[in-house]
Chain A
Amino acid sequence: DVKVTQSSRYLVKRTGEKVFLECVQDMDHENMFWYRQDPGLGLRLIYFSYDVKMKEKGDIPEGYSVSREKKERFSLILESASTNQTSMYLCASTPPSGRVDTGELFFGEGSRLTVL
């Protein structure tokens, strides 16, 4: 079974703190994604990566950065956390289209971040 693991299920941080959200997948997937999910707004794409050291901006990249140093690990960084970044953060991965052409995403359990 594909496993996408997010290191922290619940975090509480203070405004201005630097926050790291880690995601690891064990299925050798090239493509990895970070979403945030908010009531009434659904899933919104923050950043994604199709390969190591590659990154692409999603729909709402402002206030975030990412790091993909290894294929299995994709980190989301909040340089200076703000209260409007309180949200559920979901990491996902998918094989490249050459192996599976559905674009199916495999999600982690989510990291619920509260910024005070």
Chain B
Amino acid sequence: QKEVEQDPGPLSVPEGAIVSLNCTYSNSAFQYFMWYRQYSRKGPELLMYTYSSGNKEDGRFTAQVDKSSKYISLFIRDSQPSDSATYLCAMTFSGNTPLVFGKGTRLSVIA
């Protein structure tokens, strides 16, 4: 079993839709959870960060962590064509430990 599982998509939605992106993981020691966004031909950039369980909201983006189910989610409300990118989940045990990444989900938002 892979440490972090993420559906690679591709996922295609109409503009304005609510998007749900998910990752599952196997190691209960993970404490820091992140979502990165990667535009075509660019490096990934941090989108959302959550420590332990709970929700975090930033504008149209909400990150959720359910440690009991080993499941994290990223919700995008009112999706825009500019949200078209690959979204990578990542997690780690501590701030000084290399991140473990999911394979990424490619999202296309159609105008």
Contact = CB atoms under 8 A, between A and B. Distances in A.
Nearest to B46: A104
Given A104-B34, A105-B46, 5 more contacts: A4-B43, A43-B88, A101-B94, A102-B95, A109-B42
Contacts, number: 65
B8 A103 contact: no
Interface string B1-20: 00000101000000000000
Interface of B: 6, 8, 32, 34, 36, 41-46, 49, 51, 88, 90, 92, 94-99, 101-104
Summarize A's interface: helix, strand, loop or mixed.
loop
B43 A48 contact: no
A20 B45 CA distance: 24
Interface string A36-54: 0000111101001010000
A97 B94 contact: yes
11 contacts: A4-B43, A33-B98, A41-B103, A43-B88, A96-B96, A100-B95, A103-B34, A103-B97, A105-B44, A105-B90, A107-B43
